[in-house]
Structure 1
Amino acid sequence: MDEVAAAAGVSRATVSRVINNAPTVEAKIRERVQRAISATGYVVNSAARTLVTRRTGSVALVISEPEQREYDSSFLNRIFTDPFFGRITAGAQSALRPHDVHLVILPTDSSDHHQVVRYLRQGHVDGVLLISSHDEDPLPEQVHALGIPAVMSARPAAAIPASFVHTDQRLGARLAAEHLIRRGCTRLATVSGPLDMPAGQERLDGFRSFLQRRGLADVPCVEGDFTRAGGEDAARRLLAEHPGVDGLFVANDLMAEGAMLVLHDLGRRVPDDVAVIGFDDSSAALACRPPLTTVRQPVEEMAAEMAELLLAHIADPDRLPRSVSFQPTLVIRGSA
């Protein structure tokens, strides 16, 4: 910093203010210091800054899943190939990058929660974005007990004061049901998500509740696992028992892609013989043939909002928790 100050012809304190983006530095002086930084090759000592500020400049994206499901060849493979998690990462980074805050991705299942808790307790990050999808997951309470700033991806099942974002899952499923009815479908069925997950429960409830009010009380359902292979298996079992289905709601796009492969194998045309609607509006929806009609939840925007909330909590640890709700929309393409 002394070398930068000498090169720029300013004090060491002025260099420090420029590096820390203080608003009190004149534009011309800031530019002169930045040129001197480039010329001298100066790089901030992150370890030293952490000692002074008590900040690491990093936050953790913790993706908490149960022990791997029957159709998963690998837990990590599921995490890093599922478009949903890629969209979360992209959305969070879009909000963190302008603040020069880095994202540390920590996938975890129930077998190694203790390792994640230990990592967080050691102070490696300033806060946590927690993606937890199961009511019985102990990790939200464990993270809260650490006293580290955290924001959840959905309303926490436990009674803990935490900020969170959420989508109206039941409304999204209702949009799918309404569209299938408008298309004239009369023999509807669904491949649900895992019913130990709130998203799986709420999407199934929203779909069935709307149809029940329309006089369709007995809607066949086979539970899936939110993977493409699981969607194939569930759709094959569903169509073996109910071959006359003409409208199918599948609780996420990856499973819908698998279901459409099964329909193709059975010689059922989409949408002429069976209309299909997915959920998420992920890249998998565009990979389907025909392209998948789906319920969009704005995952990138939700993740960015999580990151903004977390930055606010890091800056002000006494800030009160708040929730932000996002509304789903129906994206109509070729499958329904």
Structure 2
Amino acid sequence: MIDQSEIPSATRPAPTLEQVAERAGVSRSTASRAINGGDRVSPEAMESVAAAVADLGYTPNRAARSLVTRRTDSVALVVPEPDERVLSDPFFAGVLNGVSTPLALADLQLLLVIARPGESERTARYLRAGHVDGAIVVSHHRDDAIDRALQASRLPTVFIGRPLVGGESAAVVDTDNLRGGRLATEHLVRLGRRRIGTIAGPADMSAGIDRLAGWRAALAEAGLPDDAVVHGDFTVDGGAAAARELLSRFPDLDAMFIASDLMAAGALPELAEAGRDVPGDVAVVGYDNSGLATTTKPNLTTVTQPVIAMARAAGEELVAQLQGRAARTEQVFEPELVVRGSA
């Protein structure tokens, strides 16, 4: 009989489940159950199978394993945005960074699912068809069918950001966006600014709505007008266009709260083009405290949104659900103001 260890690894056939069972001294079915979670397997048999797997270098066949466990060992990160937005916005890089760690520790594969405009129904069908064990949804909009479909399904799901439709019973990880909008605006008021405009986020996203509400609340408390509002789309180009419109309609502005760092990065050159010094003529506060905030000129005063920590919490929540724990309804992170040169 040929000793498998004498055969070069490049040409050696992959060990089989039968060989694992023989090495461990158990039946094939017991070895299979041990490898796929240990259901109805004694501790002694589990230890023997684990030793055999290590000795032989056995790698379970995921396709066969999924037939036994009815699990794919993969989860989806669902982003209902255009491709170019996902690839250019540092927010999504932070989400991927934070989510990947808890999923890797749980031996789960992460699939990125970009639900382009108009494809929500197709994406929802894919997610419900058993291709993944769970989903994390980020950057969702009011009319996304994905939100409603996943909340109506039995698929374990976590939302990063509060869904606008039926989010009361969903598992949500978010930051206190209303409080963040207040922090930014209260800082501008303390600086003595009296004509404070805002470039708000999209009106069909909870982050855009809540940050705008925080801006309004702080101005109402200070007895200042809240009519200087233009909505952007959380992109550099959207921020630039919104800044041009805001300056055209409200030339007396002495401050801006801009609801994302990307939009602020687009607005700052427009202010310079209009001959408005920052912060001398117009103080500017952004939102996110992304790496971009330290590259603008001047560096951007902004509100921290702990994206990586939020995404890590979402990943941990999904793993807990997959392990049988009831969904935790809401985890909310507190924002903080970071003061730099723009205000």
Give the CA deviation at 1:110.
Answer: 4.3
For the residue of structure 1 that corresponds to 2:80, the secondary structure is strand
Pair 127,222 (structure 1): closer, same or farther in 2 beyond 3 Å: same
Bigger Cα displacement from structure 2, 293-302 vs 237-246:
237-246
Give the CA deviation at 1:50.
Answer: 0.7
Give the CA deviation at 1:118.
Answer: 2.2
Compute the TM-score of the two structures, normalised by the length of structure 1. 0.85
User: Does 1:130 find its partner at 2:149?
Assistant: no
Bigger Cα displacement from structure 2, 322-331 vs 269-278:
269-278
Could you tell me which of 298, 306, 312 is aligned with 1:304? 312
**Length, aligned pairs only:** 321
Unaligned runs of 5+ in 1: 66-74
Give the CA deviation at 1:219.
Answer: 4.4
Could you tell me which of 106, 109, 112 is aligned with 1:102? 109
Unaligned runs of 5+ in 2: 1-16
Match of 1:43 in 2: 59
Pair 299,200 (structure 1): closer, same or farther in 2 beyond 3 Å: same
Give the CA deviation at 1:19.
Answer: 5.2
For the residue of structure 2 that corresponds to 1:260, the secondary structure is helix
What is the CA deviation profile of residues 129-170 of structure 1, one whole-angstrom value per residue up to 9, with x for unaligned ones?
122532333322212333211112233333363211222111
For the residue of structure 1 that corresponds to 2:78, the secondary structure is strand
Alpha-carbon distance in structure 2 between the residues aligned to 1:37 and 1:264: 67
Match of 2:338 in 1: 331
Could you say what the CA RMSD is over the residues aligned between the two structures, in angstroms?
2.7
User: Does 1:240 find its partner at 2:248?
Assistant: yes
Q: Percent of pairs identical after alignment? A: 42
Alpha-carbon distance in structure 2 between the residues aligned to 1:17 and 1:105: 30
Match of 2:6 in 1: none
For the residue of structure 1 that corresponds to 2:115, the secondary structure is strand
For the residue of structure 1 that corresponds to 2:113, the secondary structure is strand
Could you tell me which of 155, 159, 163 is aligned with 2:166? 159
Match of 2:273 in 1: 265
Give the CA deviation at 1:2.
Answer: 4.5
Pair 139,327 (structure 1): closer, same or farther in 2 beyond 3 Å: same
Q: Is the 8 A contact 1:61 1:128 kept in 2?
A: yes
For the residue of structure 2 that corresponds to 1:267, the secondary structure is coil
For the residue of structure 2 that corresponds to 1:47, the secondary structure is helix
1:218-229 to structure 2, matched below 5 A, reads: 218-229=226-237
Bigger Cα displacement from structure 2, 205-214 vs 261-270:
261-270
User: Does 1:215 find its partner at 2:229?
Assistant: no
User: Does 1:114 find its partner at 2:130?
Assistant: no
1:1-336 to structure 2, matched below 5 A, reads: 1-3=17-19, 10-11=24-25, 24=43, 33=52, 36-38=55-57, 42-65=58-81, 75-159=82-166, 161-316=169-324, 319-336=326-343
Bigger Cα displacement from structure 2, 85-94 vs 263-272:
263-272
Alpha-carbon distance in structure 2 between the residues aligned to 1:34 and 1:261: 60
